[in-house]
Chain A
Amino acid sequence: MTARVIITAPTKAKKGEIVTVTTLLAHVMENGFRHSSTGVPIPRDIVTEFVARYNGAEILRASLYPAIAANPYFAFEFVAEESGILDFSWMGDNGFAASRQIAINVE
């Protein structure tokens, strides 16, 4: 099943403009410290790494811990230099992997 992802970013930007991106991923982020109603520990299932790239080069790389709320939301900024592809990827426990690409047009 593909992960549900919502990304908001402008499709057009002026050269040199500071662009804000927000990403939202549907994920339980089960922290591994809770127990079920029968007392069995619920195993950890979180997203451990998030990477944002702009034309192949990293904007940022985040290491994540169980303190990140369910459905991890991130907002950050970068400088629009040329038209190209923004690539976002998430990696997590139990082989979780998701990625999404969007295009940005820089004038």
Chain B
Amino acid sequence: MTTRRQFLEGAGALTALSVIHLRAAQATPVAMQAAIDAVTGGAVLRPGRVKLDIPPLVENGNSIQCTVSVPGPTPASDRVRALHLFNEKNPQPNMFGVRFGPRAGPAKFTTRIRLAGTQTLVAVAKLADGSFWVDRVEVVVTLAACVEDP
């Protein structure tokens, strides 16, 4: 016979399991911060310089065009080394990381991304002087991508 105590312990274990399952299904702001720290090495992120262009409201999360850039002239001393884009709600926090080589032109990268729901995106730029700049944009997504099955 199941005692009240056994039942409660079982229920508690089930709740803990479901929490773990939810965590595994999507990135969280904590996971995003960890991904950003992996790129910056924990350096201070300063707002400005870098710009993330993306529509504030999208209907279909399966393909959204976005541009990450560092506008304006950049002297050789603070050339843009890399651009990164992160999210807090897709299954993985990383979206892309672009490193510029010796032939790089203006620091600007456009691509199409997937978004699994309304969330804040974070664009990070690494400059040659070792500084990191950040831009945050909230995007409202009506139809989420990534996790729904075919």
Contact = CB atoms under 8 A, between A and B. Distances in A.
**A and B form one complex:** yes
Nearest to B112: A69
A68 B114 contact: yes
Interface stretch (B11-19, B71-79, B97-105): B97-105
Interface size class of A (residues with CB under 8 A): 35 or more
B111 to A, nearest CB: 5
A60 B98 contact: yes
5 contacts: A34-B149, A36-B150, A69-B111, A75-B110, A78-B103
B92 A67 contact: yes
B118 interface: no
A70 B63 contact: yes
B101 A58 contact: yes
Interface residues of B, number: 36
B106 interface: yes
Contact of B111 (A31, A34, A53, A68): A68
B9 interface: no
Nearest to B67: A75
A54 interface: yes
B103 A57 contact: yes
A62 interface: yes
Contact of A63 (B90, B96, B108): B96
B22 to A, nearest CB: 14
Interface in B77-95: 87, 90-92, 94-95
A33 B92 CA distance: 10
B62 interface: yes
Given A61-B101, A66-B146, A67-B146, A33 B91 contact: yes
Contacts of B63: 69-70
Contact of A74 (B94, B101, B109): B109
